[in-house]
Structure 1
Amino acid sequence: MDTGKRMSRTLAHWNDDRGDGFLAPVGGGPQVFMHVSALAPGSSRPLPNERFTFESVRDTQGKHSATRVRRPNERPHARTDRRRRSSERRGRRSWGPALFGLVAIGGIVGYAQGLIDIAPRTDAIVGAMPAWIPISRPAPARYRCDGRTHCSQMTSCAEARYFLAHCPNVKMDGNGDGDPCEQQWCN
């Protein structure tokens, strides 16, 4: 089977759950694997016995799979064709620019994290530090999930709101409006 040349086959089998199937020649012969990602963006769901044209590529194990799949009367998708032509001109894509971008982002995040994690500040240090440096300290936990689930077990509206937002299986918002214990605590 030649690669790079457009071929025409019929969809013999399709698995919607996995998004893949096999294209088979009309007269029999080897089937070609097709994944939904090989279709043009926005294409409709493939149907059994539907005819497709495609180019064949070999994977690392030497098996053929369909790429740039389209229906016979469908025009090539401009974006994928443009991408293919530009990558053919450039040859293999370089990871250099992407890697540089990731390293730069990591450096910025690391620098920002260093600014935020300055703690504790004493009065002697506070006067020497610029006012724009933010201080991040975790808020002390006033409440904790301890198995209570009903309004009758709460002691305040704030406690009921905490339990509703953070604890599983609570039964404190009967009307589902986000305000817990409206009759007992949060009226």
Structure 2
Amino acid sequence: MAGIENITKVIARDAEIEAAQIITSAEKAADELKQKAEAEAEKLSKAADERLDKKVADERKKIQSQNEQIEKLRLLKQKQQIIEDTLNKAKEKILGYDDKTYFGTLLKILESSVQADKGVLFLNSKDLGRIPDDFDKEINVVATKNGGTLEVGKEPANINGGFILKYGNIEINSSIDALFEENEEKLVDIINSVLFKDITD
């Protein structure tokens, strides 16, 4: 009987030792698993924060870029409006010249558009009503220098100012509107150089 008791005690002792080892191992494994889970959770949280930070930064950058683009478009539109207003005022200034200055300007324009041929110069109805007495003579002085002749047409032209030259079937539109349109690029460059010389695009 004593032998069996000894064996039982040994088995019990071994079982306790084994159980203790199992518990220790389980506790160690659980602790390692917990630490690993916490580390993984922290890693995921950090990654999520980084992604969120990046997304927020990207959105801020996008909004800033959009705001800058909107501001550029606003300034461009404002600049275009200033240029358009300046051109219109310049045109109105020419059309508002007193008779002597206005018809003197037409003669200067005529010098660059007259042809070496017999032609007719057409004015609008307003200009026909205030034409200087010697204007017909003056336009022929210019025409003769270029080997041609001119007379003022009796029918009014449908233009805002300036004139239209007609040589047979050929028409040369030297109206104020046409001249501004034809030279728009050059005029815009001049306005830019004067009004926006210190502003970069």
Range class of TM-score, shorter chain: under 0.3
TM-score by length of 2: 0.20
Larger proportion of helix:
2
Larger Rg: 2
Normalised by the length of structure 1, the TM-score is 0.21
Report which structure shows greater RCO (CA 8 Å, sep ≥6).
2
